[in-house]
Structure 1
Amino acid sequence: MPKEILGPEHAAAVRGMIPGLFDLLLRCGNGTAADGVVVIFHDASLRPEYGLSNLSRERWMPAAGSGVTRDALLGPLRALDRRYRDRALMPPNMFIVIDVPNGRAWFGRSFNKRPKGPYLNASTSEPIPEVLEGSPARLAPRAQIFNPGHVPVLVRDLSTTQDRPEEAFLLHEELLQLAIDSLDSDEQLDPLPVHLNGLWVFARPVIMRRPDDSERHVRAVWYRQGEVLWRMRTFAAGIGNEPKEVGERLVGRLPFVPVWDETRPEQKLLAAVWALMAQGGITESDRRAPDSGPLSESAERGDLTIVRVKAGTDHAQVYRRDDPSNSIDHPAWSVRGHWRHQPYPSLGRDQAGNAITKMKWIASYTKGDAHKLALQDKVIVVRP
């Protein structure tokens, strides 16, 4: 077996041995390294090549009374590397780090004291989703604003004769801010696509943060659904510039279920927009043909739909600067908008006899006596 074939097998086998090594270290109890982190390694530059250490690379040995030996911990790695040696090949360096108190692990061909992640669950060797501080998305404060006239140019640049969006949606910045604020929780939404082949254009770019702390300024997301698969493509674009595809193309089998972790903020944002639009009473839409006024419902494919927060609603009082209610003095908002499991008996009942629930967005509201709240000088708690 060539060396390049052994490489992926070697990494997969290392992942597979982590739960067993973690179990052995648990048996050591308080006899692990000072901070509970043990490095099990093969380093061809050292003699001996195989060893145990702490994070400071100081030699470590399991306590004599623990019943765990050095050979028991190094045995799986030695056995794995024997396949290389049997073919007269040098096995790659390998550093397996197990953080016993926190139940996590990581490994690599070079020593990394504190990688950025994602870490592995030491019990299962499955990746632990990384949780970033702050929202995974935010509106770009200083950016070009797209109006309806800019969308047809973007659609044309992204389309081919064989593949084009059937409809484009221009999401007003106020709606984008509401959707971003709704991502403050980890609630699982019911992501039913509003359109099966639509280009979702953001009036103001949305800055999406990745686990490696890099950022992408996203202008549009193209979601297309076929008979078996769905796909999602993400684009950055400015006025007068050709759009640029950013990030990986996301593909999955139906039904569409967004990956609710920090590596897929575009899925989270789009699912939130869909949920807000489908709920009713939150958004309003203006359907028009490019470069023209409103059209009837029989408009042809390729029309543009402008979506924004519905005027005169509680949401408009927070998000729409042009809403008439904003000219009225209101007490400070004391409860932030949030998702809630709302029972819908009309949808039936589950096996336990409880009414089926769907996620419902609840607008920010004042709690308690409005006059007293105003005197207390409360502040709006909607995320900036």
Structure 2
Amino acid sequence: MGESRRVFEIAQATKTDVKTVLHILKDVGVSASQPEQRVDGDAVDAVYEVLGHRPTPALAQGGGTGRSSAPKRQPTQTYRGGVGKPAALRPLPRHLINAEREAAIRQMIPLMFSDLAGSGVPIDEPVVVYHDVAKQPEYGLVTLDGRPWMPPGGSGVSWRQLVERLRTIDRPYRDRGLMPGNAFVLVDVRTRRAQHAQSLKRLRNGAAGPAFDALTLEETPAESQLPAGAPARLAPRAQTFHATDVPHLVGSVTSPADGPEEAFLLHEELLALAVDSLEGDEKLDSLPVHINALWVFARPVIMRRPNGTERHVRAVWYRQGAQLWRMRTFAAGRGHDAKEVGERLSGRLPFVPVWDETRPEQKLLAAVWALMAQGGVTESERHATAPESPVPHTRDGGIVVVRVQAGTSHASVYRADGDGATNERPAWSVRGHWRKQPYPSLGRDSEGAIVSRMIWIASYTKGSLPGSASDEKVIVVRP
């Protein structure tokens, strides 16, 4: 029997890391958890055998410390999974292990995507397969927020099959006596995107490596590299929805378990105003007008996907619970069922829209809410639906149509029945814009400043126009 040694001394002698030594000691039945912990000679010899390490003659003879010079016993230990460890098998350098393993993980992703995409039940949320040495078990499936994930019943997808792919990649390293590093591999069937990182936190925070197509493995541009441009715009040629077109759309997104409580049809003139208001990218107050409603666009709004392509959005369903909010985006034509597009968005209350080019549905909805809450900008009218086309889960089966308020300076720009039209604006030298308006009636904030709110200021004439009388600039703001 050899002399006892500390764990970190074994790691230094075998030119490996402490974590690997601790893992091997655990496999051979030795309880050790700290680098400074001393283990007996039998355990030291067992680690040497697993790693194929040959002590120097001085160590073999004990170096004057009384170590036995008896011949080294032959390896009899079996490693994880009952596989015998050849004494001549030496570990690979760490940098080669990382590169080899990362390439294998990438080749695994299309197979994992094919399994999930071929599910008999739609899989709507991203799935993460992981190896984490701090977890028990070390391998498993979770959602992006860390909840354990199991394939839904009837999907035909096996939990063991998904996890075993990663186990198979790691088995050769364990056979060398090495502990594979942490790996978290994300596959999103809905967006066909994939990423992998060394922690779930890096995936959630967007600090993982580049995203790529889960089937072709081609890298997709990062969100910060997408081309700049207007966050959303109205489709110039598309079907215009009326109140009679909304019930079918609401019914197609409603399930027996859940559905919107109310439906709002946003008139195209209001959408034009909302899209124009986003040009300056101001941060608006994101106070929901309704906590569970389907917001239908009379004319589709063109929004950009994360990979730079475009989608035509017809409706957004915003749902707010006790602690969380969620948002789903749909495309649909007249008489057709809604088709969900883009990834489902969710977060903790309060709702705070992401102000970048990749999340235009959040920005647009926040702009509509801000315009509706301001007063003096919009007007609403409830339309009852026909008895033969009821809307499930709504309060009274009615549809609320929201337009730009008639008789206002906003109407003269955006309403076709007003003094002007959207495409005839030669007289307006000052565009509409958001402005921070103080409201003393709301009190003061924690720093003692008067609370303010963003309000929309309509376009107005500045000075006199050629050939017309001079008019005073009048801005009417109704908080």
TM normalised by structure 2 equals: 0.50
Partners of 2:270 and 2:402 within 8 A in 1:
yes
Cα deviation, 1:165-186, whole Å, max 9, x if unaligned, reads 1000000000001000011012
Q: Letter of the aligned partner of 2:325 in structure 1?
A: W
Bigger mean CA deviation after superposition, 145-154 or 365-374 = 365-374
Distance 2:98 2:359 in 1: 42
| CA shift in 2, pair 1:116/1:156, >3 Å | closer
Partner in structure 1 of residue 255 of structure 2: 160
Cα deviation, 1:294-344, whole Å, max 9, x if unaligned, reads xxxxx9444210001011111111111112x239x9970010101111111
Distance 2:247 2:211 in 1: 49
Partners of 1:84 and 1:90 within 8 A in 2:
no
Distance 1:151 1:351 in 2: 44
Partner in structure 1 of residue 420 of structure 2: 326
The answer to whether the aligner puts 1:148 opposite 2:243 as a matched pair is yes
Distance 2:364 2:253 in 1: 21
Question: Following TM superposition, by how much is the alpha carbon of 1:82 offset from its aligned partner in structure 2, in angstroms?
Answer: 4.2
Partner in structure 2 of residue 83 of structure 1: 94
Map 1:34-113 to 2 at 5 A: 82-83=93-94, 85=96, 89=100, 92=103
Q: Letter of the aligned partner of 2:415 in structure 1?
A: R
| CA shift in 2, pair 1:91/1:330, >3 Å | closer
Q: Look up the SS of the partner of 1:143 in the other structure.
A: coil
Distance 1:246 1:88 in 2: 35
Distance 2:220 2:341 in 1: 22
Tell me how large the CA RMSD over aligned residues is.
Answer: 3.3
| CA shift in 2, pair 1:108/1:162, >3 Å | closer
Partners of 2:328 and 2:343 within 8 A in 1:
yes
Partners of 1:136 and 1:210 within 8 A in 2:
no
Map 1:212-291 to 2 at 5 A: 212-291=307-386
Unpaired segments of 5 or more residues in structure 2? 1-91, 105-206, 213-218, 388-393, 471-479
Partners of 1:331 and 1:370 within 8 A in 2:
no
Distance 1:109 1:146 in 2: 36
Cα deviation, 1:160-205, whole Å, max 9, x if unaligned, reads 1111110000000000010000110121100100111100001111
Distance 1:204 1:346 in 2: 38
Q: Look up the SS of the partner of 1:145 in the other structure.
A: coil
- Matching residue within 183, 198, 208 for 2:303: 208
Distance 2:340 2:98 in 1: 44
| CA shift in 2, pair 1:184/1:237, >3 Å | same
Partner in structure 2 of residue 365 of structure 1: 460
| CA shift in 2, pair 1:147/1:268, >3 Å | same
Map 1:20-39 to 2 at 5 A: none
Cα deviation, 1:341-378, whole Å, max 9, x if unaligned, reads 11111111234432111101110011123457899xxx
Unpaired segments of 5 or more residues in structure 1? 1-80, 94-104, 119-127, 293-298, 376-384
Q: Look up the SS of the partner of 1:152 in the other structure.
A: helix
Partners of 1:92 and 1:109 within 8 A in 2:
no
Partners of 1:171 and 1:202 within 8 A in 2:
yes
Question: Following TM superposition, by how much is the alpha carbon of 1:226 offset from its aligned partner in structure 2, in angstroms?
Answer: 0.4
Cα deviation, 1:77-101, whole Å, max 9, x if unaligned, reads xxxx9436469956659xxxxxxxx
Partners of 1:171 and 1:308 within 8 A in 2:
yes
Q: Look up the SS of the partner of 1:270 in the other structure.
A: helix
Question: Following TM superposition, by how much is the alpha carbon of 1:130 offset from its aligned partner in structure 2, in angstroms?
Answer: 4.4
Partner in structure 1 of residue 287 of structure 2: 192
Partner in structure 2 of residue 183 of structure 1: 278
* Total equivalences in the alignment: 264
| CA shift in 2, pair 1:246/1:106, >3 Å | closer
Distance 1:150 1:173 in 2: 14
Distance 1:270 1:139 in 2: 14
Partner in structure 1 of residue 398 of structure 2: 303
Larger Rg: 2
Higher RCO by CA contacts (8 Å cutoff, separation 6 or greater): 1
Q: Look up the SS of the partner of 2:412 in the other structure.
A: helix
Partner in structure 1 of residue 87 of structure 2: none
Distance 1:314 1:282 in 2: 9
